[in-house]
């Protein structure tokens, strides 16, 4: 064979392979970001297969298909952003505690998984509560307006696999509050009594920082709007809290640099205000400190010391935050007197009965 022809052929192969890769990448990017000018949204928004890769590889024909339903200003809502199609005992208990303390309000659980296992006994237990609604957290619909529309389509929130669900959770709660208002609760926040009747409030987790596990605001509130507007600018996919507690705290400090403080001379149980935002002290929503250890968050599972009854008699808190990232491995089987079990037995009896009869952990 002619040597010149062989050289040309080799060169063509070398050129063709990278060209095909570039074409594939370009085609993928075009498919993700191509806009429909008439409808103003992407023709194919494939966030599900990125956030929930296991969902796209399983048979969902027997599962209940969920719909995107916008919450309202009177709704108490939760978000589940790890693509679960069934419930953990604590999650179901949390939802029931909110429903039982607020029978006149809709309690909405929003899942990033588009379907749910309708045979799940914990799902069946929640269905017995008439004010519980379960819907799909459709990120395409949620992030359909700027400034989070471009942030969502850029997919920077996918860059750190271990934090993806946290980024979605942190951003989804503030965008839902900005657009629709209402009361947001984390899925590890047990409700101990009816939440404050007013709106526009948030709470401190300690004297130096706010936390977004319990928040209530009217739609388009200026503070929440500022948080959402700032979010794409400060989001760092390689840091845990840049769009969570850090952002919430910084924005309120910016709003009230003079009086949003908690000096040592102030009562630790004192309420604070910043414009029309009420800031609750840590005992209101976070009565047990978040640090690990039996004297802190692990105290909720300690049995044999009567801590459950003691906590129920003495606590005046609205909620108990379980700090799931620290406590999720500390499951208990029922039959003790821990704080966690005493609350469950009292405030989520439907779920408690399922766990007890099926020998499932809490």
- pLDDT for 51 equals 86
SS3 of residue 115 by DSSP:
strand
- Please check the confidence at residue 288 and state whether its pLDDT lies above 50: yes
Q: Which two tokens stand for residue 274?
A: 């910043």
**Hey, which residues does 272 pair with through a beta bridge?**
279
Q: Which two tokens stand for residue 34?
A: 């191509």
- pLDDT for 33 equals 38
Least confident of 38-47, 119-128, 146-155, 192-201: 38-47
CATH of domain 54-290: 3.90.550.20
CA–CA separation, 274 and 224 (whole Å): 13
- pLDDT for 262 equals 56
- Please check the confidence at residue 21 and state whether its pLDDT lies above 50: no
- Please check the confidence at residue 235 and state whether its pLDDT lies above 60: yes
Q: Which pLDDT tens digit goes with each residue over 259-272?
A: 665 555 567 678 89
Q: What is the pTM (predicted TM-score) of this model? A: 0.86
Strands 182-185 and 76-80: parallel
- pLDDT for 277 equals 96
Show the beta-strand stretches assigned E in 281-348: 319-321
Phi, psi of 217 (to 5 degrees): -150, 155
Q: For residue 143, give every residue at least 6 positions away whose Cβ sits within 8 Å of its Cβ, in sequence order, or none.
A: 149, 151, 152, 171, 175
- pLDDT for 163 equals 80
Report the pLDDT averaged over residues 300-318.
96
Phi, psi of 242 (to 5 degrees): -65, -30
Least confident of 83-97, 156-170, 232-246, 319-333: 156-170
Preceding omega of 147 cis (within 30 degrees of 0): yes
CA–CA separation, 46 and 44 (whole Å): 6
Domain residue spans of the chain: 54-290
Q: Which pLDDT tens digit goes with each residue over 25-65?
A: 333 333 333 333 333 334 345 888 888 887 777 788 889 99
- pLDDT for 263 equals 56
Instruction: Specify whether the CB–CB gap between 340 and 332 falls below 8 A.
Output: yes
Instruction: Specify whether the CB–CB gap between 193 and 85 falls below 8 A.
Output: no
Question: Rounded mean pLDDT of the chain?
Answer: 86
CA dihedral 203, 207, 209, 212 (to 10 degrees): -20
């Amino acid at each position: 064979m002619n040597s010149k022809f062989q050289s040309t052929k080799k060169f063509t192969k070398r050129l063709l392979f990278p060209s095909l890769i570039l074409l594939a990448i370009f085609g993928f990017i075009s498919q993700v970001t191509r806009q429909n000018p008439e409808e103003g949204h992407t023709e194919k928004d494939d966030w599900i297969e990125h956030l929930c890769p296991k969902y796209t590889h399983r048979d969902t024909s027997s599962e209940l298909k969920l719909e995107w339903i916008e919450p309202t200003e009177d709704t108490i809502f939760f978000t589940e952003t790890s693509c679960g199609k069934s419930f953990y005992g604590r999650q179901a208990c949390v939802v029931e505690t909110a429903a039982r303390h607020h029978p006149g309000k809709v309690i909405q659980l929003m899942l990033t998984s588009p379907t749910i296992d309708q045979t799940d006994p914990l799902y069946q237990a929640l269905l017995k509560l008439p004010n519980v609604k379960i819907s799909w957290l459709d990120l395409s619909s949620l992030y359909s307006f700027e400034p989070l529309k471009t942030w969502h389509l850029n997919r920077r929130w996918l860059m750190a696999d271990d934090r993806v669900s946290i980024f979605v959770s942190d951003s989804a709660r503030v965008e839902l509050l900005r657009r629709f208002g209402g009361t947001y609760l984390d899925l590890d926040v047990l409700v101990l009594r009816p939440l404050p009747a007013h709106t526009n409030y948030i709470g401190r987790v300690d004297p130096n920082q706010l936390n977004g596990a319990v928040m209530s605001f009217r739609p388009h509130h200026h503070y929440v709007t500022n948080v959402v507007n700032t979010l794409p600018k400060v989001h760092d996919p390689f840091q845990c809290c840049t769009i969570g507690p850090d952002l919430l705290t910084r924005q309120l400090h910016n709003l009230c640099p003079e009086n949003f403080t908690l000096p040592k001379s102030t009562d630790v149980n004192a309420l604070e205000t910043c414009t029309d935002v009420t800031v609750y002290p840590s005992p209101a929503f976070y009565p047990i400190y978040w640090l690990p250890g039996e004297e802190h968050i692990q105290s909720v599972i300690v049995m044999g010391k009567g801590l459950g009854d003691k906590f129920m008699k003495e606590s005046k808190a609205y909620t108990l935050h379980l700090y799931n990232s620290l406590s999720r491995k500390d499951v208990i089987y029922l039959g003790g007197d821990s704080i966690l079990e005493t609350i469950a037995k009292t405030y989520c009896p439907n779920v408690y009965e399922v766990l007890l009869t099926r020998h499932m952990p809490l």
